[in-house]
Amino acid sequence: MGASASKNAESGAHGGEEGREEGLNDHQDGGQLYVSLKMENYKRKGELIPHVYGSVPLVGSWDAAKALPMERESASIWELSFVVPPNHETLDFKFLLKPKDSSGGCVIEEGPNRLLTRGTLQGDSRMAIFKIDEASWRAYQENLQPSTVRGIPDVSINAPPENVENGSSASLELDIEHYVVPAPSASANSGLVYAANLTETPRIFTHGGVFSNMDGPGGSPYPYRDSGTSTTARLKDGQRGLFVDRGVGSPRMVKSASANSFTGNLSLDSEAKGMPAAAGAVAAAAVADQMLGPKEDRHLAIVLVGLPARGKTFTAAKLTRYLRWLGHDTKHFNVGKYRRLKHGANQSADFFRADNPEGMEARNEVAALAMEDMISWMQEGGQVGIFDATNSTRKRRNMLMKMAEGRCKIIFLETICNDRRIIERNIRLKIQQSPDYADQTNFEAGLEDFKTRLANYEKVYETVEEGSYIKMIDMVAGQDGQIQVNHISGYLPGRIVFFLVNTHLTPRPILLTRHGESRDNVRGRIGGDTVLSDRGELYSKKLANFVEKRLRSERAASIWTSTLQRTIITASPIVGFPKIQWRALDEINAGVCDGMTYEEIKKNMPEEYEARKKDKLRYRYPRGESYLDVIQRLEPVIIELERQRAPVVVISHQAVLRALYSYFADRPLKEIPHIEVPLHTIIEIQMGVTGVQEKRYKLMD
Ligand SMILES: Nc1ncnc2c1ncn2[C@@H]1O[C@H](COP(=O)(O)OP(=O)(O)O)[C@@H](O)[C@H]1O
Ligand SMILES: O=P(O)(O)OC[C@H]1O[C@@](CO)(OP(=O)(O)O)[C@@H](O)[C@@H]1O
C-alpha cells in the first residue's frame, strides 16, 4: 500500500516503489496534505472493489458499510486520494474488498491496522492479504517526492543568474569536440550520399534480368559505379526491349501480433490489400481510402517536374523519408539512375538535346521503364511512388499520365527556382555529388557540360498547367517562396502539401537528448514521473554548459521538453533560451505497466511481455500506447522541427527520441523500437543544403 503527500492537492503522481519514505516531511509545514493510497492486483478483473475504512469519520469510523471505495486508476491499479491537515490525528485504517454488486459480504485484510501519521505511513509497507483465493494485493509505496514543476507555464525562460557559475562541479572542457563519439554506422548522414543513389534499382537487376542498350549510345558492357548499389549492368548486343520480371514480390502486409493494434478489426482481406504499418490518422485514412476511394486513388504517384539542379531529387528523397516514417509504403524511383545503368554514367550534354532523336528515345525509354516498375510495385501493394525525373515537357507528362490511367493517381510536383545564386550553388553541388560527373576530373569542364545540358532542357521546358499539381516556387530563397496547388484533395495529398510548405534549407542544428538519469531509471522502472538521480542532476548541469557553448553564436534557439518532470528538471539549468513544454514529447505511455520493471511485467503479465517482445513496434500497452501511436503524435513535432529556422534542443525520452531520430536517420519503422538512444549523450542533427548529418557527444557515462 502506498501513501504520498505534498502541500498541493494537484500533485500525487505515482512512480511505484516499495519502502521509500523520503521527501514527505519537507512538505508538511502548514497547508493541506495530499494523501494517495494505492492498491494493485493483476489477476482480479474488477469483481471486487478495494475500499479503505478506519478510525476517523473521513474513512467510516470502522463501519465497513461507510468504507470509502477506491477508484480504478488503470486496469490493475486502484487509488484513493484525500486531503488532510498536516497535524491531523493519527489515522488507523485497513483495506477491505467488497463485491461490485454489493451482493456478498466484505473481506477485510489480514494483519494489524495500518497507521498514517502526519501524512506518512508508519512501519513497513506490506502486501494486503485477504482470506480468499488470489487475493493478495500489491500495496506499493509511491514516489514521495512531490512534483517540483507542476504549474509552470508551457513556455518559460530563465535568465542567467548574475555572477553565478553554472555548476562548477559540472563544468565542461572548453572544447566540446572532446566529447565527440562515433555515430552508429546507420546514422543520419544523408548529406554525405547523393540521394539518387539510394533510390530504387531497376527490377531487371534485382530480379536477375539483363538490361539492353541497343538503342542507346552507351556501347559495350560497362560496370556501373554507384555508392548506393553494387550492381553491375551487363549489356547484351542485339537484345531489344527490356525484361521485367512481373512474377515477383508480394504485398507488404501488416499482420498485427497485438490484439490492440490497429489492424485488429480489419478482415484478412483488407490486410492483404497492403495497409500501411501505421496507427491513428494514417491508418484511419488508409481504411477509408480502401473502402470508399476509387481503386486507382489507392496508389499515388508524385511525379517531379523541373529543370536540372532545382532540388527535385532532394525533395523526392525528403518526402519519401517523411511518408515512410508516417507508415506509408513509399518508394523513390529516379530515372537518372535507370539512365546511368542503361546508357552509362558519363553522357555528354548532347545526349540531352531535344533535337537528338536517339537521345530522346533513350531517355523516354528509361522513363517508361521506371514508370512501369513503379506501377508494378504499386499493383503489388505499394502505396506512394515518387517518380523523380525532369518530366519537363507536356509530351513526356502525357506519356506518364497514359501509363497511369486506371492504375494510380498522379500529382505533379514542380520545383521552380528563380534565384541565380541558388541555381549556381546547386549546379556546383551536382558536379561534386552526381555520379554523372564522378569520372570528370576537371571541375570546370564538368561545370560547362552541365550548364549546356541545362540550356538544352530550358529550350523545351513547359511548366505544368495540366492535372493535379503542386508548385514549389522559390521555396528555398528565403521568406518569399510560395506553394501553388491545383486540384489537390484527399488525406495524403493534403499532408504532402502541408509538409512541403514547412520545409526549407536553412542550415541549423537540432540537438536530441534524453533527460538525465531519473530515479526510476536507477530502479529499472518504466514510465512514471520521478525526479533525477544525482548522476542525472550532474548531466543537467553539463548539458546546460554544453548548450551554452554549442549555441553561443546562435541568435535564437529554443529548448523543448516533455511535460514530465525529468525532462523539465534536466532543462532547468539552461538559461537564456525559451523553453517549451510539449505533451507530444512525453514518453511512450506504458498504460497499466507504468511504474513497473520489465521483470515485474514478465512475471505478472507474461502474455503482455511476450506480445511486446514479438512485435515491439505495433504492441500497444493496455490502456497505453504503441510505438506506432508515438510516431503519430510526433508528426506535429517533426513538422515544427522542419519549419524552425533556429536551432532546437529537444530533451525527451527513450521511445520518443527513437521515433524522432529514425525520421532524420531514415531508419525503417521496424527498427525504431530497437534504436539505441543512450543516456547522457547528445545527438546533433545538422540540417542543411545537402541533407542531414549526424554527430554525437557523450558528456558522461
Ligand atoms: N526547392 C528547391 N529549390 C532550389 N534548390 C533546392 C530545392 N530543394 C533543394 N534544393 C537544393 O538543390 C540541390 C540540388 O538538388 P537536386 O535534388 O540534386 O536537383 P535536381 O534533382 O533538380 O537536379 C540540393 O542539394 C539542394 O541544396
Ligand atoms: O520501448 P522500451 O524499450 O521499453 O523503452 C521505453 C522506456 O524507456 C524509458 C526508460 O526505461 O524511458 P525514459 O527513462 O527515457 O523516460 C521508460 O520510461 C520507457 O517506457
Nearest ligand to the CA atom of 564: 2
Same domain as 587, residue 517: yes
Give me the domain span that covers residue 353.
296-502
Residue 545 resides in a domain: yes
Cα 340 to Cα 342: distance, rounded to the nearest angstrom? 5
Q: What CATH number should be reported for the domain holding residue 565?
A: 3.40.50.1240
Q: Which tops the pLDDT comparison, 307 or 196? A: 307
Q: Which atom of ligand 2 is nearest to the CA of 677?
A: 15
Contact 23, 113 (CB under 8 A): no
Ligand 1 near 437 CB (within 6 A): no
End position of a domain, from candidates 139, 173, 207? 139
Contacts (Cβ under 8 Å, ≥6 apart) of 642: 499, 502, 503, 504
pTM over 0.95: no
Contact 484, 497 (CB under 8 A): no
Same domain as 531, residue 497: no
Q: What CATH number should be reported for the domain holding residue 401?
A: 3.40.50.300
Confidence of residue 394 (pLDDT cuts 50, 70, 90): very high
Residue 480 resides in a domain: yes
Q: Which of 329, 417, 600, 680 is catalytic?
A: 417
DSSP secondary structure of 614-666: H-TTT---TTS--HHHHHHHHHHHHHHHHH--S-EEEEE-HHHHHHHHHHHHT
Q: Which tops the pLDDT comparison, 247 or 180? A: 180
Give the tens place of pLDDT for each residue, 326-359: 999 999 999 999 988 888 888 888 888 888 899 8
Residue 676, pLDDT above cutoff 80: yes
Q: Which residues line ligand 2 (CB under 6 A)?
A: 514, 518, 521, 526-527, 587-588, 590, 653-655, 673
Q: What CATH number should be reported for the domain holding residue 102?
A: 2.60.40.10
User: What's the structural domain count of the chain?
Assistant: 3
Residue 154 resides in a domain: no
Q: Average per-residue pLDDT in the chain?
A: 80
Same domain as 412, residue 305: yes
Tell me how far the alpha carbon of residue 136 lies from the centroid of ligand 2, in angstroms: 28
Nearest ligand to the CA atom of 619: 2
Q: Which atom of ligand 1 is nearest to the CA of 194?
A: 18
Same domain as 595, residue 532: yes
Cell matching residue 528: 512514471
Q: What residue owns the CA closest to ligand 2's atom 20?
A: 526
Nearest to 561 by CA among 553, 549, 570, 552: 570
Q: What residue owns the CA closest to ligand 2's atom 6?
A: 655
Q: Which tops the pLDDT comparison, 452 or 351? A: 452
Cα–Cα distances (Å) from 57 to 53, 72, 88, 90, 695, in that order, read 9, 23, 12, 12, 62
Asked about 388 being catalytic, the answer comes back as: yes
Same domain as 515, residue 477: no
pLDDT of residue 522: 95
Cell matching residue 562: 516533455
Q: Which of 515, 586, 600, 625 is catalytic?
A: 515
Ligand 1 near 426 CB (within 6 A): yes
Same domain as 518, residue 498: no
Same domain as 629, residue 565: yes
Q: What residue owns the CA closest to ligand 2's atom 1?
A: 655
Give the tens place of pLDDT for each residue, 637-653: 999 999 999 999 999 99
Give the tens place of pLDDT for each residue, 397-441: 999 999 999 999 999 999 999 999 999 999 999 898 888 888 888
Which of helix, strand or coil describes residue 150? Answer: coil
Tell me how far the alpha carbon of residue 538 lies from the centroid of ligand 2, in angstroms: 20
Confidence of residue 69 (pLDDT cuts 50, 70, 90): confident
Asked about 417 being catalytic, the answer comes back as: yes
Ligand 1 near 541 CB (within 6 A): no
| From 414, 416, 426, mutation site for ligand 1 pocket: most ligand atoms within 8 A of C-beta | 426
Confidence of residue 318 (pLDDT cuts 50, 70, 90): very high
Residue 650 resides in a domain: yes
Give the tens place of pLDDT for each residue, 82-97: 666 666 777 888 999 8
Contacts (Cβ under 8 Å, ≥6 apart) of 23: 144, 145, 146
End position of a domain, from candidates 502, 520, 542? 502
Cα–Cα distances (Å) from 686 to 111, 177, 191, in that order, read 61, 15, 9
* CA–centroid distance for 557 within its chain: 21
Residue 654 resides in a domain: yes
Give the tens place of pLDDT for each residue, 496-516: 999 999 999 999 999 999 999
Ligand 1 near 473 CB (within 6 A): no
Cell matching residue 382: 505499394
End position of a domain, from candidates 78, 109, 139? 139
Q: What residue owns the CA closest to ligand 1's atom 15?
A: 311
Contacts (Cβ under 8 Å, ≥6 apart) of 74: 591, 592, 594, 623
Residue 85 resides in a domain: yes
User: Does the interface ipTM go beyond 0.85?
Assistant: yes
CB-based burial label for 103 (10 Å; 0-12, 13-18, 19+): exposed
Residue 590, pLDDT above cutoff 90: yes
- The number of C-alpha atoms within 13 Å of 163 and in the hemisphere containing its C-beta is 0
Residue 477, pLDDT above cutoff 90: no
Which of helix, strand or coil describes residue 688? Answer: strand
Confidence of residue 14 (pLDDT cuts 50, 70, 90): very low
Same domain as 528, residue 493: no
Asked about 124 being catalytic, the answer comes back as: no
Same domain as 522, residue 378: no
pLDDT of residue 187: 72
Same domain as 468, residue 605: no
Residue 250 resides in a domain: no
Q: Which atom of ligand 2 is nearest to the CA of 653?
A: 15
Confidence of residue 219 (pLDDT cuts 50, 70, 90): very low
Cα 39 to Cα 45: distance, rounded to the nearest angstrom? 13
Cell matching residue 449: 557540360
Same domain as 538, residue 494: no
Contact 275, 292 (CB under 8 A): no
Tell me how far the alpha carbon of residue 626 lies from the centroid of ligand 2, in angstroms: 12
Element (H, E) at 359: helix 357-379
Same domain as 495, residue 515: no
Residue 213 resides in a domain: no
Q: Which atom of ligand 2 is nearest to the CA of 654?
A: 15
* CA–centroid distance for 282 within its chain: 14
Contacts (Cβ under 8 Å, ≥6 apart) of 547: 511, 557, 559, 574, 577, 649
